[in-house]
Chains A and B, each alone.
Chain A
Amino acid sequence: MSWYLTLPLVIPFVASIIAYLLRSSPLGAWVSIIGSGLGLIASIALMVVVLDAGVIAGQMGNWPAPFGITLVADLLSAVMVLITAITGFAVAIYALGDITERQAKLGYHALFQILLAGVTGAFLTGDLFNLYVWFEVMLIASFGLLILNGGKEQIDGGVKYVALNLISTILFLTGIGLLYGMTGTLNFADLALKVEEVENQGLLTVVAMMFMVAFGVKAAVFPLFFWLPAAYHTPSFAVSAVFAGLLTKVGVYALIRMFTMVFDHDIGFTHTVLLWVACFTMVIGVLGAAAQSDFRKILSFHIISQIGYMILGLALMTPLALVGAVFYLVHHIIVKANLFLIAGIAKRLTGGTEVYQIGGLYKSAPFLAILFLIPAFSLAGFPPLSGFWAKYIIVKATLDLEMWFVAFIALAVGLMTIYSMTKIWAEAFWKPHPEGIEPELKTLPNKAAQLIPVAGLAVLTIIIGLNPEPFVVFAERTTAQLLDPSPYIAAVLGETP
Chain B
Amino acid sequence: MNSIILIAGARLQAVLLLVFSAYMLLRGHNAPGGGFIGGLIAATGFVVYAIACGTADARKALRFDPGSIAGAGLGIALLAGVMAAFWGDALFTGQWLFIGETEDSKGIPLSTVLVFDIGVYLVVLGAILSIAFSLEEAV
Chain A residue at minimum C-beta to C-beta distance from B113: A61
How distant is A341 from chain B, measured CB to nearest CB, in Å? 28
One of B8-16, B33-41, B91-99 at the interface? B91-99
CB atoms of B92 and A61 under 8 A apart:
yes
Find chain B residues with CB under 8 A from A16 CB.
74
CB atoms of B75 and A6 under 8 A apart:
no
- Interface status of B51 (Cβ within 8 A of chain A): no
Which of B71, B72, B85, B94 has most A Cβ within 10 Å? B71
Of the residues B78, B91, B93, contact of A14 by C-beta under 8 Å: B78
| Contact A58 B90, CB 8 Å, known A10-B78, A13-B78 | yes
Flag A42-73 by CB within 8 Å of B: 1 or 0 each.
00000000000000001111100000000000
- Interface status of B67 (Cβ within 8 A of chain A): yes
CB atoms of B67 and A61 under 8 A apart:
no
- Interface status of B68 (Cβ within 8 A of chain A): yes
How distant is B73 from chain A, measured CB to nearest CB, in Å? 9
Q: State the CA gap A101–B71 with chains docked (Å).
A: 20
Q: State the CA gap A13–B89 with chains docked (Å).
A: 20
How distant is B68 from chain A, measured CB to nearest CB, in Å? 6
CB atoms of A6 and B90 under 8 A apart:
yes
CB atoms of B74 and A17 under 8 A apart:
yes
Flag B72-86 by CB within 8 Å of A: 1 or 0 each.
101100100110010
How distant is A56 from chain B, measured CB to nearest CB, in Å? 12
Find chain A residues with CB under 8 A from B67 CB.
20, 107
Q: State the CA gap A16–B68 with chains docked (Å).
A: 12
CB atoms of B71 and A6 under 8 A apart:
no
Of the residues A10, A17, A21, A107, contact of B91 by C-beta under 8 Å: A10
CB atoms of B92 and A110 under 8 A apart:
no
CB atoms of A60 and B91 under 8 A apart:
yes
- Interface status of A408 (Cβ within 8 A of chain B): no
- Interface status of A405 (Cβ within 8 A of chain B): no
CB atoms of B71 and A21 under 8 A apart:
yes
How big is chain B's contact interface, by range? Answer: 10 to 19
- Interface status of A392 (Cβ within 8 A of chain B): no
| Contact A61 B94, CB 8 Å, known A17-B71, A20-B67, A21-B68 | yes
How distant is B113 from chain A, measured CB to nearest CB, in Å? 10
How distant is A62 from chain B, measured CB to nearest CB, in Å? 4
**Interchain Cβ contacts within 8 Å, total number:** 44
CB atoms of B71 and A110 under 8 A apart:
yes
Chain A residue at minimum C-beta to C-beta distance from B79: A14
How distant is A406 from chain B, measured CB to nearest CB, in Å? 44
CB atoms of A2 and B90 under 8 A apart:
yes
Q: State the CA gap A59–B72 with chains docked (Å).
A: 26
CB atoms of A62 and B82 under 8 A apart:
no
Find chain A residues with CB under 8 A from B92 CB.
60-61
Of the residues B71, B72, B75, B93, contact of A61 by C-beta under 8 Å: B93
Find chain A residues with CB under 8 A from B74 CB.
13, 16-17
CB atoms of A62 and B90 under 8 A apart:
yes
How distant is B11 from chain A, measured CB to nearest CB, in Å? 30
How distant is B120 from chain A, measured CB to nearest CB, in Å? 14
How distant is B45 from chain A, measured CB to nearest CB, in Å? 24
Find chain B residues with CB under 8 A from A58 CB.
90-91
Flag A1-37 by CB within 8 Å of B: 1 or 0 each.
0110010001001101100110000000000000000
Q: State the CA gap A38–B103 with chains docked (Å).
A: 47
How distant is B119 from chain A, measured CB to nearest CB, in Å? 11
- Which residues in chain B, 88-128, are within 8 Å of chain A measured between CB atoms? 89-94
How distant is A247 from chain B, measured CB to nearest CB, in Å? 23
Find chain A residues with CB under 8 A from B71 CB.
17, 20-21, 110
Flag A79-107 by CB within 8 Å of B: 1 or 0 each.
00000000000000000000000000001
How distant is A33 from chain B, measured CB to nearest CB, in Å? 19
Q: State the CA gap A14–B75 with chains docked (Å).
A: 7
CB atoms of B93 and A10 under 8 A apart:
no
| Contact A59 B90, CB 8 Å, known A10-B82, A17-B75 | yes
- Which residues in chain A, 136-151, are within 8 Å of chain B measured between CB atoms? none
User: What 10 A-B pairs are tightest by C-beta distance, nearest first?
Assistant: A20-B71, A2-B90, A61-B92, A6-B91, A17-B75, A62-B93, A61-B93, A60-B91, A60-B92, A21-B71
Chain B residues in the interface with A (C-beta under 8 A): 67-68, 71-72, 74-75, 78, 81-82, 85, 89-94
A2-B91, A14-B78, A60-B93 known, 8 other contacts, Cβ within 8 Å: A3-B90, A3-B91, A6-B91, A14-B75, A21-B68, A62-B90, A62-B93, A107-B67
Can you name 15 A-B pairs with beta carbons within 8 Å? A2-B90, A2-B91, A6-B91, A10-B78, A13-B74, A14-B78, A17-B72, A17-B78, A20-B68, A21-B68, A58-B91, A61-B92, A62-B89, A62-B90, A110-B71
